[in-house]
Amino acid sequence: MTRSIPILPAALGAMLAAAAAPNAAWAETPVVIDGVNKETREAILDLLPDRDAPESLFDAERIAEEAAARATAWLRSEGYYASEVIPEATETPPSARLVIRPGDRFRFSAPTLVYEGDQPTSETQALAARAIAPVAAEAPARAAAVLQAEADALAALANNGYAEAAAGRRSVVVDHATQRVDVGFTLAAGQRVRLGEIRTEPAGVFRSGFLRRLRNWSEGETYSPDRLAQLRRDLSSTGAVSRVNTRLEPANAEGVSNVVLDIEPAKRNAYELGIGYSTTEGVGVEGEWTRRNFSGRADSLTLSATAGELTQSLGIELLRPHASGLQRAQRFFATAQREDSVAFTQNSIAIGGAVESAPRMRFGLSYGASLAANQYENVGGGGVENAVILSSFGNLRRDTTDVPLDPRNGAIAEFRAEPSVSTGDATLGFIRTTAEGRIYESFGRRDQLTLAARARGGWIEAIAGSAEDVPPDRRFYAGGGGSVRGYEYNSIFPERRERLALAPGGQGLLEGSLEARWRSEGPYGAALFIDGGNAFDDWGNAADLRFGAGVGFRYDLGFAPLRIDLAFPLDRREDTPNYALYISLGQAF
């Protein structure tokens, strides 16, 4: 027995909701859909909820009615206003079926756009008129197009200074005789807003000079939502506030509105503790204490300490956000460090300063200078043992990635040059240059598989003196968790230098990595990788790479993945361990 069922009236009210709802994965539904093409069938199946197979005629009728209501809503939202959806149910065996006759697709007539109250400028009206193009005459009468056109028209008003623009009554008339849909938009533009000064509530948290530097407009410039959004991002990025909102004060006699930052200051003191481990570098513990908003400029004073088997250090840093312009911070630091690697042992103290671009800038230029006094041990009988190094740097970076600590898509290109002068056991001038590229591409639902690759190269050129006298810590090495996994830290460099009792390290560097990262629906993930690298003195030996490969486990902590990598050296020497284990936060690159 087959029974046809009337369509539920609720389908009519669901039209715009169906247009606004995101697509989901196909549900587990027992409903069979006939009469439409594959694309339409799949779109309707996306809207149906999970349902078990019907066990009776009553179950089948209920499931078919529900599916018919959703199918009707979707068809109307796509412009099929004359469609016919017939739900059917059978008793033996119990089953639910939809027979759909979509009919002709209705088309839009030319839309109308009127304004209540103050009229925007003619230029702004033209932009708003172009914004409603999705509902142009003869376009398919999709409900989503109506919603998008209205939102785009409001955005056009807001981007041209009408901060209080709002939508009024929307008219949608469906004419079944002509198969046309007439749409009328009503907008209220309000007064055009010009921006003035910035103040905060509560007051007195930041100095007035800092607030002036935060302003990304000149007084009297036209309002746009992007300016205020960027203002919120610039302040939030300093870490001095835990919450920030913006609002406009009423305009003054000149028609200028000041901007109020409603803020919640962050806790003044912050503490951080990090632990890392690898079989080649041992355990490392890092701790930091930070005093936020140190001088009322959203600046931070940080004291840091590192206690590891290979590295021990103390440091102090003052970071002044936006001090050299928006998204350009000033950083001043002093450090004392001891580092004990396969290549050499180093004791150093250093001071320096830099102007740094914000990490998330698409294109950034950073530069700075430092002065270091270093003492080296275990340098193989060659090279300098004492050096005072005055160095500067310039760094260009292009970053189009999406997630800082776990990129899914995008690329990074970076070039760095470090002119330096070294004196002590030897006096020379040299330039150390590096270039690096990374690329990320993801596939599948929710970017479950990411393919990542990187390449890095470097070279040291002596300008005055001999390249053999370049201090050991400024030379190139490969090996370690951020280089060629499976090998000890700084263990890859020309072997002949050890045999000839020359200073360790290479004059050039070439590295590369390939990694496949898989993510489950939950917090777990895995990785396969291969790394290769070499430090050399002659470009003719650059391609003599040493390789490492391995597998990894990932656990998503929300802000970054916990990374556990097990790597094996593929060009193992007698004194090289059989494997290396690395545990840290963030991806290897």
Write out the two tokens for 383. 């090279």
**Domains of the chain, CATH where assigned:** 2-101 (no CATH), 107-188 (3.10.20.310), 194-265 (3.10.20.310), 269-585 (2.40.160.50)
Q: With contact defined as beta carbons under 8 Å apart, do 251 and 193 qualify?
A: yes
pLDDT value of residue 551: 97
pLDDT > 60? residue 2? no
Write out the two tokens for 70. 């959703």
Tell me what the mean pLDDT of segment 58-72 comes to.
Answer: 94
Tell me what the mean pLDDT of segment 473-497 comes to.
Answer: 93
Model pLDDT for residues 273-318, shown as the tens digit of each residue: 988 888 878 888 999 999 999 999 999 999 999 999 889 999 999 9
Residues found in the chain: 589
More confident residue, 482 or 436: 436
* Angle, CA 221 vertex, CA 216 and CA 209 arms, to 5°: 40
Q: How far is CA 191 from CA 56, 464, 493, in A?
A: 63, 66, 68
In the chain, what are the helix, strand and coil shares in percent, each to the nearest 5?
20, 45, 35
pLDDT > 70? residue 21? no
Q: With contact defined as beta carbons under 8 Å apart, do 249 and 264 qualify?
A: no
Tell me what the mean pLDDT of segment 517-533 comes to.
Answer: 95
Q: Which residues pair with 306 in a beta bridge?
A: 286, 313
Phi/psi for 53 (5° steps) reads: -60, 140
Other Cβ atoms less than 10 A from the Cβ of 68: the count is 24
Using CA atoms, how far apart are residues 34 and 99, in angstroms rounded to an integer? 5
Tell me what the mean pLDDT of segment 105-126 comes to.
Answer: 95
Q: With contact defined as beta carbons under 8 Å apart, do 505 and 343 qualify?
A: yes
Other Cβ atoms less than 10 A from the Cβ of 514: the count is 14
Using CA atoms, how far apart are residues 581 and 489, in angstroms rounded to an integer? 12
Using CA atoms, how far apart are residues 358 and 237, in angstroms rounded to an integer? 9
Model pLDDT for residues 569-582, shown as the tens digit of each residue: 999 888 778 999 99
pLDDT value of residue 495: 87
pLDDT value of residue 521: 87
Q: With contact defined as beta carbons under 8 Å apart, do 317 and 336 qualify?
A: no
* Angle, CA 144 vertex, CA 140 and CA 402 arms, to 5°: 120
Mean of pLDDT over the chain:
91
pLDDT > 90? residue 478? yes
Write out the two tokens for 172. 């949608």
Tell me what the mean pLDDT of segment 388-398 comes to.
Answer: 98
pLDDT band per the 50, 70, 90 thresholds, residue 3: very low
Model pLDDT for residues 70-97, shown as the tens digit of each residue: 999 999 999 999 999 999 999 989 999 9
pLDDT band per the 50, 70, 90 thresholds, residue 381: low
Give the start-end residues of each E strand in 341-490: 345-357, 363-377, 386-399, 410-424, 428-443, 449-464
Quickly tell me which residue has 């004492």 as its tokens.
386
Using CA atoms, how far apart are residues 51 and 381, in angstroms rounded to an integer? 77
- Side chain identity at 158, as an amino acid letter? A
* Angle, CA 570 vertex, CA 502 and CA 339 arms, to 5°: 45
Q: Check residue 92 and report its DSSP letter.
A: T
pLDDT band per the 50, 70, 90 thresholds, residue 378: confident
**Core vs surface per residue 169-179: b (16+ CB within 10 A) or e:** eeebeeeeeeb
**Coil, strand or helix at 440:** strand
Residues 6+ apart with CB under 8 A from 443: 449, 450, 451
Using CA atoms, how far apart are residues 81 and 70, in angstroms rounded to an integer? 14
pLDDT band per the 50, 70, 90 thresholds, residue 339: very high
pLDDT > 80? residue 19? no
Q: How far is CA 244 from CA 158, 213, 430, in A?
A: 21, 17, 47
pLDDT value of residue 280: 78
pLDDT value of residue 27: 54
Q: Check residue 506 and report its DSSP letter.
A: B
Q: With contact defined as beta carbons under 8 Å apart, do 174 and 81 qualify?
A: yes
Using CA atoms, how far apart are residues 395 and 333, in angstroms rounded to an integer? 18
pTM confidence score = 0.79
% of the chain residues with pLDDT over 90:
81
**Coil, strand or helix at 311:** strand
pLDDT > 50? residue 348? yes
Tell me what the mean pLDDT of segment 560-566 comes to.
Answer: 93
Write out the two tokens for 414. 């970076």
The sheet that has 2-4: what strands, in order across it? 2-4, 84-90, 95-101, 32-34
- Choose the weakest-confidence range: 70-79, 104-113, 555-564: 555-564
Write out the two tokens for 39. 């694309």
pLDDT > 60? residue 193? yes
Q: With contact defined as beta carbons under 8 Å apart, do 488 and 342 qualify?
A: yes
**Coil, strand or helix at 60:** helix
Beta pairing class for 561-569 and 580-585: antiparallel
Using CA atoms, how far apart are residues 168 and 183, in angstroms rounded to an integer? 13
CA 497 to chain centre: 43
pLDDT band per the 50, 70, 90 thresholds, residue 18: very low
pLDDT value of residue 14: 40
Using CA atoms, how far apart are residues 65 and 54, in angstroms rounded to an integer? 13
Give 119-123's long-range contacts (Cβ < 8 A, gap of 24+).
119/189, 120/157, 120/160, 120/162, 120/189, 120/192, 121/160, 121/192, 123/160
Pseudo-torsion of CA 196, 198, 202, 207, nearest 10°? Answer: -140
pLDDT value of residue 6: 42
pLDDT band per the 50, 70, 90 thresholds, residue 343: confident
Model pLDDT for residues 217-273, shown as the tens digit of each residue: 999 999 999 999 999 999 999 999 999 999 999 988 888 999 999 999 999 999 999
More confident residue, 12 or 515: 515
Q: How far is CA 548 from CA 511, 541, 554, in A?
A: 11, 18, 19
For CA atoms 130, 132, 138, 144, the dihedral sign is positive
Using CA atoms, how far apart are residues 304 and 314, in angstroms rounded to an integer? 6
Using CA atoms, how far apart are residues 483 and 476, in angstroms rounded to an integer? 11
Write out the two tokens for 359. 């990490």
pLDDT value of residue 588: 92
